[in-house]
């Protein structure tokens, strides 16, 4: 058993002070924020609000609107378990369909009236057993419980390249796509080769005059046909919702028994995935020199694996070029590479990803005794079971540090985390404590076990990826799906400190 260093008396059901009304503040109206609202209503909690910094909901599916946008999780698995969708157009449906799915869910389950838009939380301070919130517009609110549903990939990273501001044409990040700019018949450059860049290449190459893809690191690409669903298939889904549920769990089992095991050390599964990636490259990239440039020098899945059966064909179009010389600087007319060549462009797209380690850290969050979250995380991003931090009572995170963002379907993970958090909230509602947080010892024990387990994973095999924090430690999940499900089944109350 993990020891606990209690900052208040440990309460039990016999010492309850009686049921109490609580107020819950949810930060973010993306996938996990909407889910939280649905679950709160199901639990009979109606004194809550969802604060959204933007003018509309959608999270990452609002932030990203670039050409070719889709999810790399099959659509029938990228759903709330209680809300299958018979209308998906493809196995991997486009971004606008996914955003529309969450908009419908917010309306259908009565969450929409609880969302307050254009309300950016800038500070949250715990005191007098409550969280005091401040907003960018100068307003304030307070809540018993705060749930950060702020997501992971929503802080764009801009490349540190000399002369970036000198480019004379339109230049924008992929997550800030400028739809007022027409790229038809233009010379377009794309910096970056992650999932986003690969999707943009496929979405743009047949529309532009010329496309340069500036590659720093080659990516492993797993071919996965994105087949459309026929009207007959959709009709069958509508008539038989159980079939969609069966598909969901079948896909979950396939993924959890193959890829999810491969990344944490199953060499047999990893060999199979690597073989598929290598065969995809060998069979579909015909020019030996281009094939060499597209061959990574690190293990498959060390970086996030690309899912595409169209990228290799797209980059081999006559009007496309893979540029690997390295960027020296940006000039008014284009990108100059280290071989001296100026690649003249009309528009430049920065597909350079996101800071996956900022979470909600832009908010000035202060816990007990004025402890700042940024100070608590100054050395490393440590959380208790991915969703709470010592000395930050009644503050919980969805998809927090070390959540399985690269292992399993994010929605399924969020559902398990919300259900777990509701069990913590139930104890507060019952009056058994005023506030609770994990102990320092339990959190240290959990993170020590994480670091030890991480030694067997593919993420520490030698590549540099956004999974790694500034210490080079992966901030993801090093164990199996079964372990995560077990961890989320029931709180280990001995690992919590409860304020009486």
How would you list the strands of the sheet with 48-51, edge to edge? 115-116, 48-51, 24-27, 145-148, 395-397
Statement: residue 10 has pLDDT above 50: no
Structure tokens at 400: 């927090």
Domain pair 20-155+355-499 / 164-220+264-350, same fold: yes
Task: Supply the pLDDT for residue 20.
Answer: 87
Task: Supply the pLDDT for residue 18.
Answer: 67
Taking Cα atoms as reference points, which of 354, 405, 402, 413 lies closest to residue 154?
354
> Mean pLDDT, to the nearest integer, of 218-238?
96
Q: Please, are residues 423 and 490 in contact by the beta-carbon 8 Å criterion?
A: yes
Q: What is the spatial distance between Cα 145 and Cα 131, in angstroms, rounded to a whole number?
A: 7
Strand positions, DSSP E, 205-357: 210-214, 221-222, 306-307, 320-323, 327-331, 334-337, 342-344, 347-350
Query: H-helix or E-strand containing 322?
Result: strand 320-323
Structure tokens at 291: 């094939």
Task: Supply the pLDDT for residue 17.
Answer: 52
> Mean pLDDT, to the nearest integer, of 426-442?
97
Q: What is the spatial distance between Cα 449 and Cα 261, in angstroms, rounded to a whole number?
A: 18
Q: Please, are residues 318 and 431 in contact by the beta-carbon 8 Å criterion?
A: no
What's the mean pLDDT when you consider all of the chain? 94
Q: Please, are residues 170 and 181 in contact by the beta-carbon 8 Å criterion?
A: yes
Domain chopping of the chain, boundaries: 20-155+355-499, 164-220+264-350
> Mean pLDDT, to the nearest integer, of 284-311?
97
Statement: residue 1 has pLDDT above 90: no
CATH topology of domain 20-155+355-499: FAD/NAD(P)-binding domain (3.50.50)
Model confidence over 375-396: pLDDT tens digits? Answer: 999 999 999 999 999 999 999 9
Statement: residue 233 has pLDDT above 90: yes
Q: DSSP code of 372?
A: B
> Mean pLDDT, to the nearest integer, of 321-331?
98
Q: What is the spatial distance between Cα 496 and Cα 204, in angstroms, rounded to a whole number?
A: 51
Percent of the chain with pLDDT over 70: 96
Q: Please, are residues 27 and 360 in contact by the beta-carbon 8 Å criterion?
A: yes
Statement: residue 247 has pLDDT above 80: yes
Statement: residue 215 has pLDDT above 90: yes
Q: What is the spatial distance between Cα 294 and Cα 280, in angstroms, rounded to a whole number?
A: 11
What CATH number has the domain spanning 164-220+264-350? 3.50.50.60
């Amino acid at each position: 058993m993990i020891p606990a260093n209690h900052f208040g008396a440990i309460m039990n059901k016999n010492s309850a002070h009686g049921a109490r009304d609580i107020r819950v503040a949810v930060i973010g109206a993306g996938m996990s924020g909407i889910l939280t609202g649905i679950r709160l209503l199901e639990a009979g909690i109606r004194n809550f609000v969802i604060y959204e910094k933007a003018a509309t909901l959608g999270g990452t599916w609002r932030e990203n609107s670039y050409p070719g946008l889709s999810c790399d999780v099959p659509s029938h698995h990228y759903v709330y378990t209680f809300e299958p969708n018979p209308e998906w157009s493809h196995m991997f449906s486009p971004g606008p369909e996914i955003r529309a799915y969450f908009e419908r869910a917010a309306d259908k389950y009565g969450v929409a009236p609880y969302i307050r838009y254009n309300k950016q939380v800038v500070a949250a301070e715990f005191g007098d057993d409550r969280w005091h919130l401040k907003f960018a517009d100068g307003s304030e609110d307070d809540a018993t419980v705060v749930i950060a549903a702020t997501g992971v990939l929503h802080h764009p990273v801009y490349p540190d390249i000399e002369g970036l501001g000198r480019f004379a044409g339109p230049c924008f990040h992929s997550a800030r796509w400028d739809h007022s700019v027409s790229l038809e018949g233009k010379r377009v450059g794309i910096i970056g080769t992650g999932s986003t860049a690969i999707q943009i290449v496929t979405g743009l190459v047949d529309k532009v005059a010329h496309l340069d893809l500036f590659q720093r690191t080659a990516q492993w690409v797993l071919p996965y046909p994105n087949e459309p669903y026929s009207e007959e298939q959709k009709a069958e889904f509508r008539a038989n919702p159980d079939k969609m549920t069966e598909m969901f769990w079948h896909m979950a089992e396939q993924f959890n028994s193959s890829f999810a095991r491969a990344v944490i050390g199953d060499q047999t599964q990893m060999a199979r995935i690597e073989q598929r990636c290598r065969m995809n490259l060998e069979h579909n990239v015909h020019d030996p020199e281009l094939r060499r440039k597209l061959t990574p020098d690190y293990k498959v899945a060390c970086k996030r694996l690309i899912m595409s059966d169209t990228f290799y064909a797209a980059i081999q179009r006559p009007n496309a070029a893979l540029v690997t010389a390295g960027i020296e600087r940006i000039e008014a007319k284009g990108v100059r590479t280290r071989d001296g060549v100026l690649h003249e462009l009309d528009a430049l797209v920065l597909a350079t990803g996101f800071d996956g380690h900022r979470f909600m850290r832009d908010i000035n969050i202060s816990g007990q005794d004025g402890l700042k979250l940024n100070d608590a995380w100054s050395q490393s991003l440590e959380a208790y079971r991915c969703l709470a931090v010592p000395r930050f009572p009644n503050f919980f995170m969805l998809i927090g540090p070390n959540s399985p963002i690269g292992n399993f379907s994010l929605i399924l993970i969020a559902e398990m985390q919300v259900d777990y958090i509701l069990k913590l909230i139930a104890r507060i509602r019952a009056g058994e404590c005023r506030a609770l947080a994990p102990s320092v010892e339990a959190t240290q024990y959990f993170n020590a076990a994480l670091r030890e387990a991480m030694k067997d994973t593919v993420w520490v095999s030698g590549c540099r990826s956004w999974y790694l924090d500034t210490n080079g430690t992966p901030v993801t999940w090093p164990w199996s799906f079964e372990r995560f499900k077990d961890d989320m089944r029931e709180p280990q109350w001995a690992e919590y400190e409860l304020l009486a």
